[in-house]
Amino acid sequence: MRRDILYKFFEGKASPKEQRLIGQWLDDSEKHKEVLVRERMVFDAMIVSGEITDRQSVQSRKKRTRVVFMELLRIAAVILVMFLVGGYIYVRKMEEIRLANNIVTVPVGQRVNLQLPDGTSVWLNASSEIIYPAYFSGSTREIHLNGEAYFEVEHDASKPFIVHTETFDIKVLGTKFNVEAYKGMEGFTTALMEGSVEVTDRKNKDKSVRLYPAQKVAFRNGELCKSPIDNYDVYRWREGLICFKEARFADLMRQLEKNYGVRILINNEAVKEKVFSGKFRTTDGIDNALRLLQKEGHYTFEWDENKTTVCIN
C-alpha cells in the first residue's frame, strides 16, 4: 500500500474508494495490519517530537492530522501514545484483531482537540483520557472515555459510534453531544445538541434512554433521569470557560479541583450549599475564581505552604 494513501487515511482525507482499498488490503494479510501499525507509530512519533507543526496537505508533506491543542492555552497537552502490537485487545462486539491503540491523556487545566481515524472530532476536557484504535474495523466504531468530552461524530449509518464509559455506553450514528463521566466521581451526564443517542447502563442492558436534540440525561439515585438542556453555557468549556447556573458551592469546588489540579477543603459549612451563577476563564487562574465567588459567598481562603491545597474558611 502506498504510504501517501495511508497518510491520507490517517488524516481523514482519504476518498471512499481509498478507504475501501485500505480495508481490503488489511483483510488480505495480518502482515498488512503490522505495516499499518508501523506507519502509525512513525507518524505519531513525528507529531510528538514536533517535526510536524502545521496542517499541510499530504501531497505537499506526508503526514496525518496531528493532535490539535487549544491555542488559547498556548501549552501543549501531554499525549501518551501506547502501541499494543502483538497483543490482543478485546473490544465488545468485535472479533479479536491486531491493533495499535492510542491513549490520549489531558493534564489538569488544559484541553485538547483531536480527530479520530473516521474523521470524528473530539474535544477533551481537563483530566480526561480517551482510548481509540488506529483503524475502526468491523461493524462498529468503539472508543473508551474517562472524563469529559464533546463529540462531533462523522455520520456512517453502517458503523454505529459507541462511547464506553465506566458505567454507561452511548451509541450514535452521527451527532453532536457532550459526555461527562470521570472515574471515581459521582455523577454521569450526557447532553445532546444534534442527532440522537442511546445511553445504556452497562450492568443492566434493560436500562436505556434515547435522547433527542436539546435533551440531557443524568444518573441520580440509581436511575437515568432525562430532562431538557436548560443552560448551554456549561458546555463552553471548549472555549476555556467555566460557566455555572444555580450551582452548589461544593460542586463548583469539585470542578475547580478538576480544572486546576489542586485539593480544596471546605471548612465553612455555611457556604457548602449556597448556589452561584456566573462564568470565568480558566486562564485567569483559581485565585481569581475564588475571589469572584467570595463576594457572594462571604468566606476566606488560604493556601498551604506547598500551594497544593486551599482551605475555605
Q: What is the DSSP string of 9-65?
A: HHHT---HHHHHHHHHHHHH-HHHHHHHHHHHHHHHHHHHHT---S---TTTS---P
Could you tell me the pLDDT band of residue 43, with boundaries at 50, 70 and 90?
low
Cell reading at 5:
494513501
Characterize 200-213 residue by residue with b for buried, 16 or more Cβ atoms within 10 angstroms of its Cβ, and e for exposed.
bbeeeeeeebebee
pLDDT above 90 covers a percentage of the chain that reads 24
Cell reading at 70:
487549544
Q: Which CATH architecture has domain 240-312?
A: 3-Layer(bab) Sandwich (3.55)
pLDDT single digits (tens) 145-180: 999 999 999 888 888 999 999 989 999 977 999 999
pLDDT score for 59: 37
Q: Is the model more confident about 85 or about 159? A: 159
Ranges 30-34, 120-124, 235-239, 298-302: which has the least confidence? 30-34
pLDDT score for 42: 66
Q: Which fold has domain 3-228?
A: Jelly Rolls (2.60.120)
pLDDT score for 261: 85
Q: Is the model more confident about 286 or about 67? A: 286
pLDDT single digits (tens) 94-139: 343 334 678 888 888 788 888 888 889 999 998 899 999 877 878 8
pLDDT above 70 covers a percentage of the chain that reads 80
pLDDT score for 220: 82
pLDDT of 298 higher than 60: yes
pLDDT score for 11: 66
pLDDT score for 163: 94
pLDDT of 290 higher than 60: yes
Q: Is 302 exposed, middle or buried (0-12, 13-18, 19+ CB in 10 A)?
A: exposed
> 283, 295 in Cβ contact below 8 A?
no
> 4, 62 in Cβ contact below 8 A?
yes
Cell reading at 163:
462511547
pLDDT of 67 higher than 70: no
> 68, 114 in Cβ contact below 8 A?
yes
pLDDT score for 255: 86
Q: Which of 182, 107, 171 is nearest to 139 (CA)?
A: 171
pLDDT score for 96: 39
Domains of the chain, by residue range, sit at 3-228, 240-312
- Average pLDDT estimate for 219-240: 88
pLDDT score for 49: 44
pLDDT score for 12: 65
Sequence-distant (6+) residues with CB within 8 A of 146 are 128, 129, 130, 165, 166, 181, 182, 183
Measured between its terminal Cα atoms, the distance across the chain in Å is: 64
Mean pLDDT taken over the chain: 78
